[in-house]
Structures are given as C-alpha cells and as structure tokens.
Amino acid sequence: MIFAGNLLAVFGLPGEGKVCYMPGRCQVYFFTKYYTKEGFYWNVQNINSIGGSLFYLERLWIYGTVRFVRTVAAAASQAQLAIHDNRLCLLYAEGIQMNIRENLEQFEVDYLSPYAAHSRNSRGRQRKEEQCDIRPVYQRDRDRILHSKSFRRLKDKTQVFLSPEGDHYRTRLTHTLEVSQNARTIAKALRMNEDLVEAIALGHDLGHTPFGHAGERALNEICPYGFCHSEQSVRTVDLLEKGGAGLNLTMEVRDGIRNHQTKGMPCTLEGRIVRFSDKIAYIHHDMDDAIRAGILKDTDVPKEIGDVIGYTTGERLDHFIHDLVTTSYGKEDIRMSEPVAMAMQKLRRFMFERVYENKEAKSEEGKAEVLMQTLYSYYKKHLDLLPEDFKNLMRKGEPEEKVVCDYIGAMTDRFAIAKYEEIYIPKSWHG
C-alpha cells in the first residue's frame, strides 16, 4: 500500500482490519472500516504510540484501485505522515477486496447526484433475504418484475383502443416500455438511479385490468372494496406473484409503483421521474395512435399548446423531456417549467375531449364493462371454480370479493373474452 509517497506493507487481520508498516519511520498503523449513512471511512490508528493516537480519513471510497482521501482530524505527528503540504494525498488500495455488487454500490455513491437513491441505503424488503453478490437491490427488483407472469400478460391488455385492427397500436406492455425508456433517459441526464426508475416503470401497471380503464371502472363500481390499478399493482408484487409468495421488492420500488398516478407523491426522486414519464408517455403515444386511427390530425392541436411544446408528437416528446431535465437539474425535486407544465395540462384536457371520451373510439367500452361485471358476479357465486392459488388466498383470510377481483383483474383481454364465451355463449352441438 502506498501512502503519502511511502511504501507500506499490508498484513491481513481478522475482520475488516489491515495492519500497515511504514519502513524507515518505525510506525505501525491499524486500518478499520467504519460504515456511515453516506458510505464508509477508514479509521487509522498508530498502534506504536502511547494511548493510540487517532486520525480519521474522510470519504475514503474504494472503487477500483485509486482514491483520494483527506485528513480531517489528527495529532500533529500523525498528520505529517498522512498529508503533504495540507493537500490531498493518494492512497493505492491494494488488497482491499469488494464484490461486484459492492463496487456498483460504490459507483453510485461516487457518481450519482447527492439527491439520488443509493442502493446500499434502501429501506429494505418486507422479508429479509441474503444480498446478491452481483446485483444491487434495485437491479434485482427490476429483474424480478421482468421475469414475472403479470409483466408478460401486459402484452395482451388494452392501452386505449380495444382490440384495434392494426399491428402498430400500443398495448399496456409497449406503454410500459415507453415509460421505462423516458424515465431512464431523464434519470441518466440527472444522474439519478437508473435501476430504481426502471424497476418502478416496469412494475407500475402490473395490476392493470383487461380493457384498460373501462375494466378498472367496472371493478371499482361492483367491488365493495373498490379497485385502483396502482394499489392493485402493489398487491400483485406483494401477494399474487409466485403462487402467493410475492416478489418481495424493496420499499422504494413499491412506493414508486403505488404513487405513480397524479394523486400520489413518491418518496424518491426516481419515483417522481416515473410519475412524470407515465404522463409524458401516454399523452405522446395515445395521440400518435389517435392520429393513426384517423381520430386526430397534428394540425388539430390548439395553437396556444403547439407554440409552447410543438406541433408534432416527436417535437412534444423531445420538448417535455428536455424541459423536465433542465428545470430539475441540480435540484432536490423533479418538475417542469411553468409554461410547459401548463401546456401539458391543456394537452391532457384536449386528449380527454377528443380521444378518451370520444364516442366513436370508445364505443365498445360499455360492452367491456358489462363483461367484467358479469364475470365478477359469476365467480363471486362460484368461488370453487377459481384457480387453486386464489383459493389459498381466501384460506389465508383474504376477502373473497378482493380475490375475485384479483383473478378477473389479472386476465388479459383475450382470456376474459374467452372465459365469458365459455360460460355464457352456447356452443354448437356435434352429434
């Protein structure tokens, strides 16, 4: 170990300790790692001196091999050994080993914004488990969501248009991927935790019903406990996945999923990035799909909106993301500038008037709502026909109304229609 230009021999001791001998000075030092909320530092003790005089090295971050350290408290004699002309000294940390996950966690501390969520400071999981030696906790959450059944089912769930005839309309899955892409772009520019925003983004709609918000409205009306897709997404990762065991995600990811809607406010800036990214994504791609369907034209956008954020879908997407980044950069908040935020609100109202409440585009939603409520009533009377995983939830004390919603809400559009036909549509007799 080279310290302040002098060669030190390093000998291992039990635990975190390292003994270092400086030739020519007849001094032996004992290095001990101490963890703090921000990370860790090394306590360096001259064990040859009477009383063990101490000095401390502030923010000695071991990532790779080379780091700078600064003496912040020292007896004069020891300080002279550690520092040269009161400037930073170089420590070549040879023999101090960290696994891949710890290196990645240290990179977060060294590189990310001071306002970013650090993996090592996570509030943890509902059930404690052993750390992975390769992946930090938020990356691990991302992987669990990506491999879940509820994520795969998003490919056959409606975004806006029910069963559209065409290969290029968005589904709930492609919406989720666009939210993730927006969020990662913003997070990278702001030096936030990309793994955390990606995990929240990929998981934010796992509890969405078939037939989009029509399905959600139907279950909310008929179930005495109500139904909200953001809460159902948390219930999905906590309880419904893996046969009732859940994915055991971190508190930060669960919080971001629960609070991704306008009424929520996530506890991390990464969660707030996803909250904005969701709105940006659906305003962008729902307008793009409406133009593809012939419901809208680019020129329909009011001038007071277009003059601020652009007249094409591409211009608006680019403007939203650039404005969010430049307005939030270096701040402990995620926000848009006032003119762009107002233009976004006006564009959202425009979309409700022309698309989301368009009778032609939404002509089939009433049928979808009837289908959902009919299935709910049927399975409420025939609980014995529910799959075994859902019966187990009732045996554990979960209300039967919620469990029926769990089953129907998890269906894809195609599966819900198939179940309805199986139950209510007469089949041809083949003699």
- Express each pLDDT in 392-416 by its tens digit: 999 999 999 999 999 999 999 999 9
pLDDT beyond 60 at 62: no
66-to-63, 69, 91 alpha-carbon distances in Å: 7, 10, 6
pLDDT surpassing 60 at residue 417 = yes
Q: Which residue has the higher pLDDT, 68 or 325?
A: 325
Q: What stretch of H or E contains 400?
A: helix 400-409
Strand order from edge to edge, sheet including 9-12: 6-7, 2-3, 89-92, 66-73, 54-58, 40-46, 27-35, 18-22, 9-12
Distances in Å between the alpha carbon of 177 and those of 19, 50, 180, 252? 51, 63, 5, 20
CA-to-CA dists, residue 249 to 121, 129, 235, 298, 403, angstroms: 15, 11, 11, 41, 21
Distance between first and last Cα of the chain? 88
The torsion angles phi and psi of 55, rounded to 5 degrees, stand at -135, 155
Q: How far apart are CA 171 and CA 175, in angstroms?
A: 6
Q: Which amino acid belongs to residue 396? A: K
Residue recorded with tokens 């003699």: 431
Q: Alpha-carbon distance 55 to 374, whole Å?
A: 73
- pTM listed for this prediction: 0.79
Mean confidence (pLDDT) of the chain: 81
Task: Give the span between the Cα atoms of 273 and 129, in whole angstroms.
Answer: 28
- Kindly report the CA angle at 347 between 272 and 353, in degrees rounded to 5? 120
Rounded to the nearest 10 degrees, the angle between the axes of helix 212-222 and helix 365-381 is 40
In this predicted structure, which of 114-128, 154-168, 238-252, 253-267 has the lowest mean pLDDT?
A: 154-168
Q: In which band, very low, low, confident or very high, does the pLDDT at 323 lie, cut at 50, 70 and 90?
A: very high
Residue 57 pLDDT exceeds 70 = no
φ/ψ of 44, rounded to 5, equals: -115, 120
| Comparison of pLDDT for 369 and 11, the residue scoring more | 369
186 residue type, one letter: I
Residue that wins the pLDDT comparison between 16 and 242: 242
CB 282 within 8 A of CB 175: yes
141 in Cβ contact with 250 (< 8 Å):
yes
HEC letters along 312-337 = CHHHHHHHHHHHHHHHHCCCCCCCCC
CA 285/CA 295 separation, integer angstroms: 14
Supply the pLDDT for residue 362. 75
Contact 98, 177 (CB under 8 A): no
Q: Which residue would you say has higher pLDDT here, 114 or 79? A: 114
Which token pair is 341? 């935020």
At 131, is the secondary structure helix, strand, or coil? Answer: coil
177-188 tens-digit pLDDT: 999 999 999 999
Instruction: Output the DSSP codes for 227-285.
Output: --HHHHHHHIIIIIGGGGT----BHHHHHHHHT-STT---SSHHHHHHHHHHHHHHHHH
Alpha helices in 122-211 (DSSP H): 137-146, 149-153, 172-190, 194-203
What pLDDT, in 10s, does the model give residues 256-313? 999 998 888 999 999 999 999 999 999 999 999 999 988 999 899 999 999 999 999 9
Beta bridge partners of 92: 2, 66
- Who has greater pLDDT, 262 or 129? 129
- What pairs with residue 301 in β-bridges? none
Average pLDDT over residues 353-375: 89
Q: Which amino acid is at 175?
A: H
CA distance 243 to 166: 35
